[in-house]
Amino acid sequence: MKIIFTTLGALLLLLSCSSSEKGNIVEQDAAAPETEAVAKTAEKDAVKEAEEKVYNFYFTPSVREDLLRTNAVKIATFLSEETGMKFLPVIPEGYNEVIKDFGNKKADIAMINSFGYIIASEKFQAHAKLRSVRQGKSTYKGQIIVHKGAGINSLKDIHNKKIAFTNKTSTSGYLLPNQMLSKEGVRPQQEIFAQKHHEVVELVYSGKADAGATFYSPPGENGELNDARAQLLTKYPDIAEKVLILTLTDPIPNDPIVFNDNFPEDKIHKVVLALRKFIISPEGKSIFFEMYGIEDFVKCTDNDYDLLKDAVAVGVKDFDAYLN
């Protein structure tokens, strides 16, 4: 409203100055209708400008910033043209910033990883409406791998053994596997956080860890490895014989597109339709694949992530510590 007040105040000030000379009274009266029309037009324009909402669309910074920024602008432009709404693409410095900006109401929409969505949902009531599709699937799995000579044939055998994880925010590399172990009452002797999936595999291969948790992808048509072990196949050609898959996690929902709690439902519907329309176009398909390896979107709800929320509750005790 300050814009409105400033605009009208300046206009009224000019009017009062022009009427200060008595010789101009008749001339001012004659011009009053025209002046009043100008004032109303200025007020109307100011109100429209003040009330027109610009929606901040956050893009998770998981690829090169220049690549992300160029494509984010194209997505925002398409959404604006398709919905009649205005969108501003935002590239945050890190994952935590996306989550925090849901809390301070700066973020309206975000493409965010699943763990980040869980925090945004639990703390700030953000809502998942679309889920990414990769390789024809909107879910993926994690795996628990073991060294062939570790004597591990079941989850319970990991008790008092050394296990390697990626990091405490990884769904496949920690949260779901940790939940599985917890349900079995398994307490490893040592937990090693290697940060990267291939580093977990290498620890298991070398025998520095008896077991490990990484992402899983099914073998190719000819049986070739596609899971985390494949990243070390050149370095260790016998890795498939020495590092074995013990078990898989339940399906984990892919990363969602999330809306803040104040986003109008009718506008969410418009955005969802527009995004699904864009990604099936040649340009949109190329852009989303280049950014995040996404082939398509499917509709989803917050309930689709209940399994992951339960796993996070087991593995993460303090969201604020993560955000800070």
Query: Does 93 lie in the same domain as 181?
Result: no
Q: Please tell me the distance from the alpha carbon of residue 196 to that of residue 316, in angstroms, as a whole number.
A: 19
Paired with 193 in beta bridges are 165
In this structure, what CATH number is given to the domain that contains residue 233? 3.40.190.10
The pLDDT-based confidence of 303 (bands split at 50, 70, 90) is very high
Find the domain containing 32 and state its range. 2-51
Of 227, 252, 277, the last residue of a domain is: 252
Mean pLDDT value across residues 124-144: 95
Query: Do residues 316 and 307 make contact, with C-beta atoms less than 8 angstroms apart?
Result: no
Our count of domains for the chain comes to 3
Query: Does 153 lie in the same domain as 129?
Result: no
Task: Indicate the pTM of the whole model.
Answer: 0.73
Note the pLDDT of residue 38: 60
Q: Is 33 helix (H, G, I), strand (E, B) or coil?
A: helix
Note the pLDDT of residue 40: 61
Note the pLDDT of residue 23: 39
Query: Does 286 lie in the same domain as 209?
Result: no
The burial of 149, by beta-carbon neighbours within 10 Å (0-12 exposed, 13-18 middle, 19 or more buried), is given as exposed
Neighbours of 1 (CB within 10 A): 9
Query: Does 66 lie in the same domain as 34?
Result: no
Q: Please tell me the distance from the alpha carbon of residue 33 to that of residue 85, in angstroms, as a whole number.
A: 35
Q: What contacts 319, CB < 8 A, 6 or more positions away?
A: 119, 122, 123
